[in-house]
Amino acid sequence: MDPQPVPAGPAAPSGLRGADLALVPPEELRLAVVLNGGVSLAVWMGGSVLEVDRLAHADRPGNGTYATMLALAGCRARVDVITGTSAGGINGAALALAQVNEDADLSILREVWAEQGRFETLLRSPVKGSPASLFKGDEHFLPELHTALARLARTTDPRRLASPEEAPST
């Protein structure tokens, strides 16, 4: 039996095979994010957590691609569990902040990793004394990271912060 043509436009049936999908509650895609350590992966992971955040907040402006994908799949996304070590822990903390603070913009952290976390920026001169570490993390990177996390934590309206029930566990 040949399939019947489906009318286009306002007269078109909604959903698959004409079913009214508005009556079907959306499924919830629940994510657990595990981020490992390593500064070399931090920039990549920073971009990854930005995309996970965009998926989980597909209803925000600028996240239309994720909103379309979730609508087609009939679901919504939520980040439930976030864990990480070292640089992954920093990215995980930023992702958790973004889940509870609608004003948080994770692209801030991605820029910190890309600009301030560069190998050549962090590397100490090996000929100056006997450094405890090859990297200038405490005096160079840590202040930049602190500023970025403080910017992520700011909100224009504290009433818009997610409730404890909505927040991911870390």
Pairing mode of beta strands 75-84, 27-35: parallel
| Contact predicate 124/131, CB 8 Å | yes
Q: How far apart are CA 163 and CA 170, in angstroms?
A: 15
- Phi, psi (deg, nearest 5) at residue 95: -65, -40
The structure tokens 């870390």 sit at 170
pLDDT tier, 129 (very low <50, low <70, confident <90, very high otherwise)? confident
pTM of the complete model: 0.72
pLDDT tens, 135-160?
Answer: 777 777 788 888 888 888 887 666 66
Asked if the model's pLDDT at residue 10 lies above 60, the reply is no
pLDDT in tens, 47-104: 899 999 999 999 888 888 999 999 888 899 999 999 999 889 999 999 999 998 888 8
pLDDT of residue 6: 43
Query: pLDDT tens digits, residue range 104-122?
Result: 888 888 778 877 777 777 7
Q: How much is the pLDDT for 62?
A: 83
3-state secondary structure string, 17-51?
A: HHCCHHHCCCEEEEEEEEECCCHHHHHHHHHHHHH
